[in-house]
Structure 1
Amino acid sequence: MNILIITGTYLPSVNGVAVSVESYYQTLKKMGHKVTILAPDVTGAKRSRDVIRYPSLLNALSKDYPIPIIPLTPKIFKLLTKQKFDIVHAQHPFHISWFGKKYAQINKAPFVLTYHTKHDEYAENFFKFLPKIISRDIVKASVEKTMQEVDLVIAPSKYVQQELKEKYPDTKTVTIPTGICFPREVKKSKRKVREKLRLPLKSKILLSVSRLSEEKNIDFALESFAKLPADYFFVILGSGPEEENLKKLASDLGIDSRVLFAGKIPHEKVPYYLRATDVFVFSALNETQGLNLLEALHAGIPVAAVGSKTTQEWLPKEFGLTTDFDIKHFSSKIQEICENPDKGLAKIEQEWALNFSIQNTTKKMVETYKELMKLKAEERR
């Protein structure tokens, strides 16, 4: 199978979409498929035979999400029309999908969209320079247009698929969670890892792995952490537009000496921080999936999460605690997990998480591609 993936973000960015594209690319190749990625050109981007870079601009609001310009130049068009694609798979609506549809039409191939983000709820984050009502209308119109043109929309979770069905009843949808390439287990003891990472040896350590943006509610997590005893320590991995505001908040709360903003780190180093952790903290309300939750569970780490449709679907009750969006309630549940750890759950947590491995989800993706290709061929008869 020959697959074209069109994305607005890719390595060296380390956001969820970029990591997802890379994981599927590597796994599809191992399964014997040919994959071409059309991605924005950014500083530090490595050149690859399978990756075609198109022009982009630096995004001042989020360096991890460049502003795509036009994924079609004479050179790119020539490169892409040299081969026949069986599937064209876009990772975003907006003009990325418009060009995806064009490439699909040229190849007479099915056109697929993965709905990574609830775009309508984050509209004002995408277009901060516009009035809210205008940004929402732009996003709504673009998403609706894309939904009319795709052959299939892939939802990362069941609840997102249900919402899409209600909003766009004429659009075909399916749930395929974003697969995770789980790392090897860190064999070193928790103490050894803490020494290596220069983390306090005797503290209860909380960990958050998240982009530092408004919708992730890291401010809520910090305010909840401020209610915990002095022997608790909070490690926050990630970067984003709210980083300086969050650092100021930690200072204002008087907890900056117990909070480490470790910044954006290579994904392969995350397991070491998980190994050093007592509780994983998840404070976002509107995520389409819970990849970070699964990585924590795979490492045998209990989770404290704000209750949402995502956590209801992705976090079994026996593996962690979900709470109201209430500072006092959230902090008390974190303390409850720390003081009453169930060490026997680690193996069961890992087995649950493995259901979402990149190998399993890629197999389902390939089966879905084949079904679409068969339907497309029947339509042409």
Structure 2
Amino acid sequence: MIVGLFNDSFPPVIDGVAITVKNYAYWINKKHGLSYVITPAYPKYKDNEEFEVIRYFSLPLIFRPPYRLGIPFLDINTIKKIEKIPFDIIHAHSPFSTGLLGLYIARKKKIPIVATFHTKYYDDFKSATKSDLISKIAVKLIVEFYNQVDEVWTVNHSTAETLRSYGFKKDIKIMPNGTDFIPPENPQEYREKINKIHNLKEDEILFLFVGQIIKQKNIELLLKSFKILKDRGYHFKAILIGTGKDEKYFKDLTHKLNLDEIVIFTGKILDRELLKAYYARADLFTFPSLYDTSAIVLQEASAIKCPSLVIENSNIAEEIIDGYNGFLSQNDPYIYAEKISQIISDRERLKSVGENAQKTLYKPWEKIVDKVVERYKKILNLQKEHINL
């Protein structure tokens, strides 16, 4: 089987969809056939993957660095190269330039195309344009893209409802995300590594956030909650891993809230073993995002038995049972802070919840991609049956 994976982000641009595409490509290539990733070019970056990455002409996306605006049809030579690949199936992970390129290739070759809806695009457009009208028009165009593909997937039922709220009326298949993390046999060594890097005491409470440093992730609530805890006399450290267009805003807010000695911004961490160590050291993964649909970081945390505190009724809260395999809070900094206070007051319960998170939420990418390929085969068989009618 030869699969084309089309997406607008891929390392060195790191987000949940880029990680998804990378793991799809890796496991398809390793176990099921050949995979190609098609994505916009990134200046001075050289790919070093076990599968082929084909990049096409792009420009900076001014309002959303470090993302790139792909313009495939200004790169005729690359288009010709892609057209020559004998794909069996195309999988688009974005409805924008690269997804449209995937749709073009699929229709030209008369092969099936799957598209996964990953993101709350209305929120993205509203943040960028501050206009309800423009955001609604953009979402209408996005729905039109999904109407043209052969099968639509989302990562959970909550995200399927988000797509339906945009006006999509066709069938939606659920295909969850996974993680490449393998639970460590020696978590204490990982903990000690972070203690050494940040001069932490072994019993010092550590909260962790991993993700893009952007306002949509609700980081302001997180910092205000830390301020409330500090003012109540709690002693702890908080580490925020990631980069994003609002990094300066949140660093300034950290200073304004007098949290400089408590909150640490590490920037982007590409070393997966080092990132695993941060999860192993954290007592609680604090992730109040209302923007994410199915945060891979929750999978990463659960793999390392690090329980998460998320906002109730958010898409990412779908599989979390409060007090059993994670924790839920209302979307309010005072309530979030109070919930943290309750959680850290019972360390044995916290440990038990982390163990349950690993048992119930952890899904390795290998098993997820096995299911993905099984579904690809069904789609291809349905196409053959249709042709033979």
Which range, TM-score by smaller chain? over 0.9
Flag structure 2 segments of 5+ consecutive residues without an equivalent.
none
* Corresponding residue of 1:100: 102
* Corresponding residue of 2:326: 320
Aligned residues: 377
* Corresponding residue of 2:358: 350
* Corresponding residue of 2:212: 211
* Corresponding residue of 1:57: 59
Residue-by-residue CA offset, 1:146-177 (whole Å, 9 max, x unaligned)? 02201111101111123434655542310001
Residue-by-residue CA offset, 1:350-376 (whole Å, 9 max, x unaligned)? 22233x221121111112111211222
* Corresponding residue of 1:330: 336
* 1:1-381 correspondence runs (5 A): 1-47=1-47, 50-70=52-72, 73-125=75-127, 128=128, 130=129, 132-165=131-164, 167-168=166-167, 170-185=169-184, 186-189=186-189, 192-201=192-201, 202-228=203-229, 229-268=233-272, 269-317=274-322, 318-341=324-347, 342=349, 343-354=351-362, 356-381=363-388
RMSD: 2.1
Q: Distance in 2 between the 1:200 and 1:345 partners? A: 23
Deviation at 1:264, TM superposition (A): 0.9
Q: Distance in 2 between the 1:251 and 1:275 partners? A: 27
Residue-by-residue CA offset, 1:208-234 (whole Å, 9 max, x unaligned)? 111111110101100001111341111
- 1:121 aligned counterpart, secondary structure: helix
Taking a change above 3 Å as real, the CA distance of residues 313 and 191 of structure 1, as seen in their structure-2 partners, is closer
Relative to the length of structure 2, the TM-score reads: 0.90
Contact 1:203 1:232 in 2 (8 A): yes
Taking a change above 3 Å as real, the CA distance of residues 110 and 215 of structure 1, as seen in their structure-2 partners, is same
Contact 1:183 1:271 in 2 (8 A): no
Give structure 1 regions of 4+ aligned residues with deviation exceeding 6 angstroms: none
Q: Distance in 1 between the 2:103 and 2:316 partners? A: 33
Relative to the length of structure 1, the TM-score reads: 0.92
- 2:237 aligned counterpart, secondary structure: strand
Deviation at 1:18, TM superposition (A): 1.2
Q: Percent identity?
A: 25
Q: Distance in 2 between the 1:291 and 1:371 partners? A: 26
Residue-by-residue CA offset, 1:295-326 (whole Å, 9 max, x unaligned)? 21221112222212324313232022201111
Q: Distance in 2 between the 1:169 and 1:131 partners? A: 23
Residue-by-residue CA offset, 1:171-223 (whole Å, 9 max, x unaligned)? 23100012211145153347623332224215311101111111101011000
Residue-by-residue CA offset, 1:121-152 (whole Å, 9 max, x unaligned)? 32123xx3x45145314412321220220111
Q: Distance in 1 between the 2:7 and 2:22 partners? A: 11
Q: Distance in 1 between the 2:334 and 2:164 partners? A: 36
